């Protein structure tokens, strides 16, 4: 009986650990609303004032892995990005399920030169953000000062530059147009 109790306690510990790490059931940990962890992620970016599509916006999706004793820290796992086309549409390619069970749901970073993100509208309303086509409204920034304030600190910390070249290119385009030079 003692061995059975030890095995049972061990199994319960493994199950609890998997749940805490996000390895059992989608969306148990991490960002709310991100039940689908691997993609593809789709959407359309539009100007909130005109309803017109915004070409050249960049959607960056980043996955982080919990690590350390008790999984209290995070480290970069992977990133994928996509640039909106003439219709303002993007599709971030699917990331195959990782080998590590501690990979968290993705975080989404959107940047369009001269714009600020307003809100996401999921179609249909009960769908999952970016899994079903999602419309993202962006507000045009009117003044150079407003654009300068918005550009500060836009790169996600801890993501290697080589994993987000389009995101950096879009930020550099905005910085250059404001006379600020490039990111690096």
Domain locations in the chain as residue ranges: 2-177
Residue 77 in this model has a pLDDT that exceeds 70: yes
Residue 56 in this model has a pLDDT that exceeds 80: yes
Local confidence band at 71 (pLDDT 50, 70, 90 cut-offs): low
Local confidence band at 57 (pLDDT 50, 70, 90 cut-offs): very high
The confidence score (pLDDT) of residue 83 equals 97
Q: What is the mean pLDDT of residues 107-111?
A: 92
Least confident of 51-55, 149-153, 176-180: 149-153
Q: At what angle do helices 165-177 and 144-151 cross, to 10 degrees?
A: 150
User: What's this model's pTM, rounded to 2 decimal places?
Assistant: 0.74
Beta strand residue intervals within 84-155, DSSP E: 89-92, 107-111, 115-122, 134-140
How far lies 142's CA from each of 11, 25, 150, 168, 169, in Å?
58, 44, 11, 22, 21
Is the model more confident about 57 or about 13? 57
**Residues of the chain above pLDDT 70, percent:** 74
Most confident stretch, 1-5, 9-13, 48-52: 48-52
Tally Cβ neighbours within 10 Å of residue 176: 13
Contacts of residue 167, Cβ cutoff 8 Å, sequence gap at least 6: 58, 60, 81, 109, 111, 155
The confidence score (pLDDT) of residue 129 equals 82
Most confident stretch, 35-39, 122-126, 158-162: 158-162
Whole-angstrom Cα distance, residue 184 to residue 45?
Answer: 27
**Region class of 75: left (phi > 0), else alpha (psi between -120 and 50), else beta:** beta
Tally Cβ neighbours within 10 Å of residue 94: 12
Residue 5 in this model has a pLDDT that exceeds 80: no
How far lies 3's CA from each of 8, 11, 15, 38, 131, in Å?
9, 12, 18, 39, 46
How far lies 90's CA from each of 82, 87, 93, 133, 162, in Å?
6, 9, 10, 10, 20
Q: What kind of fold does domain 2-177 have according to CATH?
A: Immunoglobulin-like (2.60.40)
Local confidence band at 35 (pLDDT 50, 70, 90 cut-offs): low
* Strand order from edge to edge, sheet including 41-47: 89-92, 41-47, 134-140, 115-122
């Amino acid at each position: 009986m003692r061995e059975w109790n030890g095995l049972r306690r061990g199994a319960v510990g493994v199950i609890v650990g998997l749940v805490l790490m996000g390895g059992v059931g989608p969306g148990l940990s991490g960002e709310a609303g991100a039940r689908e962890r691997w993609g593809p992620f789709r959407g359309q970016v539009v100007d909130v004032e005109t309803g017109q599509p915004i070409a050249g916006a960049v959607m960056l999706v980043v996955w982080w892995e919990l690590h350390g004793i008790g999984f209290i820290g995070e480290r970069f796992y992977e990133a994928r990005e996509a640039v909106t086309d003439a219709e303002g549409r993007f599709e971030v390619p699917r990331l195959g399920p990782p080998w590590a069970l501690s990979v968290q749901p993705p975080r989404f970073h959107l940047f369009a030169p001269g714009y600020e993100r307003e809100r996401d509208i999921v179609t249909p309303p009960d769908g999952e953000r970016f899994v079903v086509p999602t419309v993202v409204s962006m507000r045009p920034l009117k003044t150079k000062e407003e654009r300068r304030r918005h550009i500060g600190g836009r790169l996600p910390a801890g993501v290697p530059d080589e994993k987000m070249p389009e995101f950096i290119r879009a930020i550099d385009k905005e910085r250059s147009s404001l006379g600020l030079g490039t990111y690096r």
